Structures are given as structure tokens and as C-alpha cells.
């Protein structure tokens, strides 16, 4: 059975041009049983919503601005969200706003065990993004739907203003997207953790764990529709397909790994019978190989990597330090 969602829209902070993308996106998660939008409909600024609401069967909730400078729309949305939560008639909420005022609401809903999807423009503050199970940029939803006419209109407006608005928007958008380096490091960490426990890492696990750490992560932000295609960009990752199963592994540069291990053996041999402290060995390796990272070999800690090298012995000395020396592999 599909999950049921309540879609609550803050008309004061969302443009009607996004509604098609919003509804299409939510269809991936389940059935939208509540469709409500909040705003002061006596305000002429909200008149653009009229046709959109009729065509998409969205119920407008009237909320007068009783006091200038106070956002009554936020309060009405929050009260309705809690009322819907207590009916236990939905398994998730989609809060559509670029306002950080809904951060506490998102957190409270998640505490009650329901899924929270947030949607907002690039300007949406980080606290609200992080409070959701998943956050989606509205601009991204519309990028694939832009026709040539819209692009031409943007270009004309840009020339009239004398400012390269289009380039500025692209720059602002890229600044709100998680860097690929950060994503790659997180994936390497996931694979290393699994490898230490003798587990393989499936593509699905990569996607779900990235989503938990970075709610705003979406491969479409980087120009891809599939996670597997996106991961092919990373030089340290290998995508292994076996029938319907897809796993992700670390690429090992065997040549450089052999060089590192040979250098380790030379250092330990030169230290003599007393051996060399683990910390000192690690420093010398990093001094010689600036880009050395044990995670590239599938290990989360340097000591675990050293233990994998044959003919090395690790001993604990009285000071609590670990000493590496040549000998039979005891640990």
C-alpha cells in the first residue's frame, strides 16, 4: 500500500510556477491525500495561484494578516499539520516553503515517526533543510521542464538589466549543493566500515545512507538521473554489476599500494629489533606520500591497514603505545 502524504504549501514563500514539479516529485513517494495551501487570498500578490489551485485540486486556506510584520500563515500551517498528525491518517508530510520558521515543525513531525519531505528554493536556510528526512530544491524540479521560450525570456531580461542574472543564479545554486569531494569521502567511509565487518556495500545502501547524512542530496543536482551513473564519476570507486545486483567497491591502485608496503617494510627493518612506534610510522608514510589515505585501500584506521601486511608484528608497550617490528604476524 502506498504511503499517504499531506502536502502543505506556504504561498507567501513559494511561486506557483513550481507546482507541477512538486506534484510529480511527490508521486514518487506515495499518494497525496491532503493538498492545502496557506495565504491571504485577499492580497492581489496571490492572484497568480488561482488557476493553479483549480487545475490541481489544491484547497486554499484563508489566513488574514492580522498584524503587519507577523506571519499568520506559518501559524495556520503549523496548527493544521499537528491536527493532521493526531488523526494518524498520513505516514508523511511535505512542507513546501523557503522559510526557516518551519524547522521546529519538521523536527516535531519526525519525532512522531512520520516522514518529512521539505521543498524550497535555493535561499532556504540550512536548519530547515537538515530538519527534514529529504529536502528538494524547487529550482531543480523546474530545470528539466524549461522550454526554449523561457530560456529566451531569461536572456532578454538579463540583457535589459545589464546584469548576468542567469550566471549568478547558477553560481548561487552550485553554492547550495554539497561538493562531490564531500560526497566521495562519505561513500569511502561507508564502504570502509562495511569492509571491516566483511560486508559488501550495495548501491541502495549508499543512496539511503547519503540521504540520512545529507537530506538535500539528490543526483539530479549534478546532472544525473541515476545514482550509479553519478558514482562512475569518482576515480576511487568501482561499480560492480552482477545481474540485478549492484555493489560499490573501492578501486585499489595496486602499484602504489605495493610501493607503500615496501617502504613500510624498509622503515621497520631499519628500526631494528626494537621496532618503530605506530604513530612515527604513520608520520613517515605521510611525509613520503602526500596523498596516502588508508580508506583508499578499504580501511578506516592506519593500524588495521598495518595489520593486513604480512610479516609485521604489533606489540603494546608499557606506555600504551604500539610498536611495529618484523616477525610473524600475531595480530
Quick one: cell of 275? 621496532
Query: Model-level pTM?
Result: 0.61
Helix, strand or coil for residue 110?
A: helix
pLDDT classification of 27: cutoffs 50, 70, 90: confident
Quick one: cell of 259? 610501493
User: If you average pLDDT over each of 119-133, 147-161, 305-319, which comes out highest?
Assistant: 119-133
Alpha-carbon span 233 to 134, nearest angstrom: 23
Domains and CATH numbers, the chain: 3-145 (3.40.50.1010), 146-176 (no CATH), 180-250 (3.30.420.610), 254-326 (3.30.420.610)
Residue 277's contacts (CB-CB under 8 Å, 6 or more residues apart) are: 321, 322, 323, 324
User: If you average pLDDT over each of 48-57, 75-84, 205-214, which comes out highest?
Assistant: 75-84
Alpha-carbon span 157 to 164, nearest angstrom: 9
Contact 260, 307 (CB under 8 A): no
Alpha-carbon span 161 to 163, nearest angstrom: 5
Contact 180, 217 (CB under 8 A): no
- Which 8-state DSSP code applies to residue 163? S
Each residue's pLDDT tens digit, 148-193:
343 334 333 434 444 444 444 434 444 568 888 889 888 988 888 8
Each residue's pLDDT tens digit, 234-258:
888 888 888 888 999 887 655 577 7
- Which 8-state DSSP code applies to residue 31? E
Residue 326, H or E segment: strand 322-326
Amino acid at each position: 500500500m502506498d504511503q499517504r502524504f499531506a502536502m502543505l504549501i506556504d504561498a507567501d514563500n513559494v511561486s506557483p510556477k513550481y507546482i507541477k514539479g512538486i506534484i510529480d516529485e511527490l508521486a514518487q513517494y506515495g499518494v497525496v491525500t491532503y493538498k492545502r495551501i496557506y495565504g491571504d487570498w485577499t492580497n492581489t500578490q496571490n492572484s497568480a495561484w488561482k488557476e493553479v489551485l483549480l487545475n490541481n485540486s489544491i484547497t486554499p486556506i484563508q489566513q488574514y494578516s492580522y498584524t503587519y510584520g507577523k506571519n499568520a500563515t506559518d501559524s495556520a500551517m503549523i496548527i493544521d499539520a499537528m491536527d493532521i498528525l493526531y488523526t494518524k491518517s498520513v505516514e508523511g508530510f511535505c512542507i513546501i516553503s523557503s522559510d526557516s520558521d518551519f524547522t521546529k515543525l519538521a523536527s516535531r513531525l519526525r519525532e512522531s515517526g512520520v516522514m518529512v519531505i521539505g521543498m524550497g528554493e535555493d535561499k532556504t536556510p540550512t536548519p530547515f533543510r537538515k530538519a527534514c528526512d529529504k529536502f528538494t530544491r524547487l529550482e531543480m524540479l523546474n530545470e528539466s521542464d524549461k522550454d526554449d521560450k523561457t530560456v529566451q525570456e531569461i536572456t532578454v531580461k538579463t540583457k535589459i538589466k545589464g546584469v548576468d542574472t542567469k550566471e549568478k543564479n547558477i553560481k548561487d545554486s552550485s553554492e547550495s549543493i554539497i561538493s562531490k569531494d564531500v560526497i566521495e569521502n562519505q561513500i569511502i567511509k561507508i564502504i570502509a566500515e562495511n569492509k571491516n565487518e566483511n560486508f559488501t556495500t550495495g548501491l541502495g545502501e549508499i543512496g539511503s545512507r547519503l540521504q540520512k547524512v545529507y537530506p538535500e542530496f539528490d543526483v539530479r543536482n549534478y546532472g544525473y538521473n541515476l545514482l550509479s551513473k553519478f558514482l562512475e564519476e569518482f576515480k576511487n570507486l568501482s561499480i560492480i554489476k552482477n545481474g540485478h545486483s549492484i555493489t560499490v567497491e573501492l578501486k585499489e591502485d595496486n602499484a602504489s599500494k605495493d610501493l607503500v608496503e615496501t617502504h613500510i617494510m624498509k622503515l621497520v627493518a631499519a628500526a631494528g629489533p626494537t621496532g618503530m612506534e605506530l604513530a612515527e610510522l604513520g608520520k613517515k608514510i605521510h611525509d613520503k606520500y602526500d596523498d596516502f589515505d588508508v580508506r583508499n585501500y578499504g580501511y578506516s584506521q592506519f593500524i588495521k591497514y598495518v595489520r593486513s601486511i604480512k610479516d609485521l608484528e604489533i606489540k603494546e608497550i608499557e606506555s600504551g603505545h604500539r610498536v611495529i617490528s618484523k616477525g610473524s604476524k600475531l595480530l
